[in-house]
Structure 1
Amino acid sequence: MSAPTAAAAVTARAAASPPRRKRHPTKQGEGRFGFMMIGLAVLFVAVFTAIPIIASFLLSFTSWDVISPPEFIGLKNYKSMLADGPVLKSFGVTIGMAIAIVVLQLTLGLVLAVLVNQRRRTWMRTFFRTTFYLPLLASTAAVSIFMGYLFDYQFGVVNYYLGLIGIPAVPWLNSSFGAATTIVLITVWQQAGFTFVLFVAALMAVPTDVLEAAQIDGASPLRTLLRIKIPLISPTILFAAVVALINAMQLFDQPYIMTKGGPGTATTTVTISMYQKGFQNLEFGYGSAIAIGLLLIILAITGIQFLAARKLVFYQ
């Protein structure tokens, strides 16, 4: 084969093969940035969630007072926890308050979302969304201190104005039922803005043609809400319920700042018991066992929620 013929064959093969695509520098930078953000998120979860859980699990099998080295004692901390009346009562108090908080928070958030979603003017919806979400931005500690003064039995503003209309002072934080109820209501007031915003977004995403068809069929607003809107936003309701329950089971700031877990042990939650055992009594192994017990209960209740969701949640 002559040189011109070979050169022509090489040129033909080069023309027939598709050219290699060069990756754009911008896309390469976006890929590196994405992996960097994922890496930071994984690092954050590992440092602030995974490692503390593993450390607590290992410490729960030891007796450790910080001063001396940890001493392995096996399941002794868990046996002590199951026989500790005040600690077991704190689990009951936590579960009871968490159920009340979740039910009230979801109900209030849904009612407010339905009412705001009916407003035609955009500025009104924006105003109400901002107003209801603002309490969530405030510090929980600051809100608890403020509410503690507000509901004080002797010097509280609430009892002062009740006295002006002839109602005797109410022991908001000085009775077992009153303290638990007050803490639940304050927590719901501060946290309801989160579920409210979720439900507003979910209701705005409901297909308008479905609502128009229901209106043409003569469905009342209540029937439309119960039979159409709520089933269509049920995945959002499930998400809000799971998040609200996890937060409520870890309730600490409000009862500790407002009542120190009292009166008696009426508002002593599991997290307060953990704090008392670990940081006040320097029983970090026992406190870690209580923390693991709380984690297992949260996982169990969350699992029950997802099992119930198989029949109650409607996915489009």
Structure 2
Amino acid sequence: MMTATTERRTQRAAEVAARRPAAKRARRRESTFGFLMIGLAVVFVAVFTLVPILASLGLSFTSWDVISSPEWVGLDNYVRLFTDGPVLASFGVTIGLALAIVVLQISLGLLLAVLANNRKRNTTRVFFRTAFYLPLLASTAAVSIFMGYIFDTKFGLINYYLNEIGLPGAHWLNDPFWAKVTIVMVVVWQQVGFTFVLFVAALLAVPVDVQEAASIDGAGPWRTLFQIKIPLISPTILFATVIAMINAMQLFDQPFIMTKGGPGTATTTATISMYQAGFQNLQFGFASAIAILLLVIIGIITAVQFIAARKLVFYQ
């Protein structure tokens, strides 16, 4: 009896020992594949992000017009940048537009997601997700050209229908205030689908038992929304806010195509100033300095958002 038991144990140990090298080889293959994927991602980021940033940083200390060789000028471009009133004003315009866009995009996306999530039929939610996401798939340049016609003061559809109901039309693209409002509306209309889809998915992931427990405790729909659902989806709100702010700070297509940065400099953003310095005036060193300052500002804003998130974001 003892001999048979010992033999079985010996045989089992031999089988385990035989399987161990195969398991090690499988883990090694998985690790190699994982490192390969990470390596490709690192190479992609390095080539298309880090290299351009470092190149711009280097150019920001030079004077370069593409035709001649770059000439080292030290901090001259940055001194000029911080004493150039119109360029500094463009950063103010950028921050103002970005704040308006992000607030409206996040709040409107959340509102639409809550309304769509309350629909009992899944086909209705799918319809709303598709309808609100479609503008995001359209070319920004095409949308900007189309909206330029829609908001045209003389021949635009907006003023036409306002006049039809007895209301005066506005100088949507020719007045400094209304030009900013128009840009914000167009950007929010096209981008809100991104936050809407994120928030719908996040709301669907809220545990049903938590909502049922809140209902049993007497919480109504509004209390459940603000005290249960929104805290639980706060990580998604943070992600959407960070991405929306980064995109809004790089705003270029809509103001450039619809208003050319005007009237005056009312909608001239930092990226438009960068374009004018680099591609119109052939001052690529100065344009690079603008780009580096914009990168630093975006980094600071993103860092502030993550610091604030420590107290405002709830992680399960």
Tell me if both proteins adopt one fold, taking TM over 0.5 as the criterion: yes
Q: 2:132 and 2:289 mapped to 1: Cα distance?
A: 38
Cα deviation 1:253-285 (Å, max 9, x = unaligned) = 000000000000000000000000011100000
Q: 1:185 and 1:221 mapped to 2: Cα distance?
A: 29
Q: Secondary structure at the match of 2:22?
A: coil
Q: 1:193 and 1:15 mapped to 2: Cα distance?
A: 59
User: Which residue pairs with 2:277 in the alignment?
Assistant: 277
Q: 1:222 and 1:286 mapped to 2: Cα distance?
A: 52
User: Which residue pairs with 1:139 in the alignment?
Assistant: 139
**1:311 to 2:314 alignment:** no
Identity of aligned residues (%): 70
User: Which residue pairs with 1:3 in the alignment?
Assistant: none
Q: 2:59 and 2:253 mapped to 1: Cα distance?
A: 24
Read off the aligned partner of 1:306 and give its amino acid letter.
Answer: F
Q: Secondary structure at the match of 2:21?
A: coil
State the shift of 1:36 in Å: 4.2
- CA change 1:61–1:167 in 2 (3 A) is same
Q: 1:17 and 1:168 mapped to 2: Cα distance?
A: 85
- CA change 1:283–1:216 in 2 (3 A) is same
State the shift of 1:166 in Å: 1.8
State the shift of 1:73 in Å: 0.8
CA RMSD, Structure 1 to Structure 2 (Å): 2.0
State the shift of 1:16 in Å: 9.1
State the shift of 1:17 in Å: 8.4
**What pairs up with 1:203-214 in 2 under 5 angstroms?**
203-214=203-214
Q: Aligned residues, how many?
A: 305
Structure 1 residues without counterparts, runs of 5 or longer: 1-10
Cα deviation 1:98-152 (Å, max 9, x = unaligned) = 0000000000000000011111111111111111111100010000000001100
- CA change 1:125–1:24 in 2 (3 A) is farther
User: Which residue pairs with 2:4 in the alignment?
Assistant: none
Q: 1:252 and 1:26 mapped to 2: Cα distance?
A: 49
State the shift of 1:209 in Å: 1.2
Q: 2:259 and 2:14 mapped to 1: Cα distance?
A: 82
Q: Secondary structure at the match of 2:17?
A: coil
Q: 1:28 and 1:296 mapped to 2: Cα distance?
A: 41
Q: 1:139 and 1:272 mapped to 2: Cα distance?
A: 19
- CA change 1:16–1:51 in 2 (3 A) is closer
User: Which residue pairs with 1:7 in the alignment?
Assistant: none
Cα deviation 1:26-84 (Å, max 9, x = unaligned) = 88776665444433322221121110000000110111111111111111101100000
User: Which residue pairs with 1:6 in the alignment?
Assistant: none
Q: 1:140 and 1:23 mapped to 2: Cα distance?
A: 51
User: Which residue pairs with 2:256 in the alignment?
Assistant: 256
Q: 1:163 and 1:43 mapped to 2: Cα distance?
A: 56
Read off the aligned partner of 1:291 and give its amino acid letter.
Answer: A
User: Which residue pairs with 1:266 in the alignment?
Assistant: 266
- CA change 1:266–1:17 in 2 (3 A) is closer
User: Which residue pairs with 1:40 in the alignment?
Assistant: 40
Structure 2 residues without counterparts, runs of 5 or longer: 1-9
